Amino acid sequence: MSIAILATGNELISGDTLNTNAQYIALSLSRKNIRLGLQMTCSDDEQDIIAGLRFLTAKHEGVILIGGLGPTSDDRTRFALSQFLSSPLIEFSQAQTHIRQRLAHRQSNVLNQGFIQQTLFPKHAQLLPNPHGTAMGCYVAHHQRHFILLPGPPRECLPMFDDFALNFIAKLACYHDTTLLWWRVFGITESAIATLFETALEAFNCELSYRLETPYVQCKVRCKPELANDIKTIIEPKIRPYVLNHTNEKASVLLQQKLMHTNQTITIIDETTGGMLQTLLHTPTTYKKVFFQERFKTDIYLHVRGLEPFWQQNKTAANASVRLTVTKGNHQTQETHTFPLYGALVIHYVTEWLCFRLFHLID
């Protein structure tokens, strides 16, 4: 079974709201090797939703509908599905109980018309709990087609998907008979890494894809399971200079995790990244261990200077240096590193590289 996603909402169509729900759900299904089809976005208009359902069910056995389950007059998803299935909506006592429990702190738990609307589902629906709001979701099977309705707010939608909806999908879905291999590389352009992969794997029947996430590039290979080891044997030696760690995690994330668990303190005087390094590293769990101004003696002292051609907008410079002064106890070292000027991307590049360097400075 292939799965399609239909996100509803005028706020999505107008661009007022970014559709992060669909991105999260698609990524989750893809990582579980579940076959994904089309994604669509439509307005809150019932006829638009019905048109989307008609189009998607022509080629997909399953559709995940996101949004339009609230208590207001523009929440029309349940009504559109009812009309599309020619299945009248009925009140579910389970939904009534859920809403009353959510409203228990109010002086009156009488359900107004908006809340009554949220108790309506197609007759044979199986309801999905919502620990974070009044809008329950549901799963409906109808004429060899399967529908999952999820609320729009991410804090309600995503837990419902993870904890409840995914169980239905996993039982019904068609899984790819393939393996997904991926690497996060650093210090090489997207076009250059694509050429490297495509040349190295020319003889293999596999699907290659790339995604720029500045300053990294994600490289993905989908292949038959029996080819995975041969592909890794060929690719990994070639990309070793561009892989910062074996977990494929960003250097900044690894450094944050290390700072959370280290007993060492660090002072960083940053005259290079324009505050980007502090933005990445200062969190509620790390601010007592890493300081970005002169305060008192810390276990590690790092002074970063450089990238003058970038800050001075020198259009003729091809490279820029970054100079580090590292003090640990009574021992001081100095380093100079040269980076190509990628325009504004150089700041992201150098910031992640500094995280990588700091990671190895911490014992």
Last residue within a domain, chosen from 191, 213, 242? 242
Q: Based on the domain organization, do 33 and 165 belong to the same domain?
A: yes
Indicate if 17 and 94 belong to the same structural domain.
yes
* pLDDT, position 173: 66
DSSP code, position 67: S
CA 342 and chain centroid, separation: 25
In residues, how long is the chain?
A: 363
The dihedral over CA atoms of 234, 239, 245, 250, expressed in degrees to the nearest 10, equals -130
Kindly state whether residues 67 and 95 are assigned to the same domain. yes
Same domain, 274 and 220: no
Regarding whether 330 and 235 lie in a shared domain, the answer is no
Q: Are residues 39 and 168 in the same domain?
A: yes
Please check whether residues 331 and 356 belong to one and the same domain: yes
For 289, the token pair is 């261990």
Number of domains forming the structure of the chain: 3
* Residues 222, 336 share a domain: no
Which CATH number covers residue 193?
3.30.70
Do 72 and 189 belong to one domain? no
Low-confidence ranges of the chain (pLDDT < 50): none
Q: Are residues 143 and 68 in the same domain?
A: yes
Last residue of a domain, one of 142, 172, 202: 172
The answer to whether the pTM exceeds 0.85 is no
Cβ neighbors of 151 (< 8 A, separation 6 or more) are 66, 67, 69, 70, 130, 133, 135, 137, 157, 160
What CA–CA distances, in Å, run from 98 to 110, 164, 303? Answer: 13, 16, 57
Given this model, what pLDDT does residue 105 score?
78
Q: Phi-psi region for residue 3, left (φ > 0), alpha (ψ -120 to 50) or beta?
A: beta
Given this model, what pLDDT does residue 296 score? 74
Q: 151: which 2 tokens? A: 């609320």
Centre a 10 Å sphere on the Cβ of residue 308 and count the other Cβ atoms it contains.
13
> Do 230 and 269 belong together in one domain?
no
Domain that holds residue 273: 251-361
pLDDT of 159 reads 96
Q: Which of 172, 206, 221 is the last residue of a domain?
A: 172
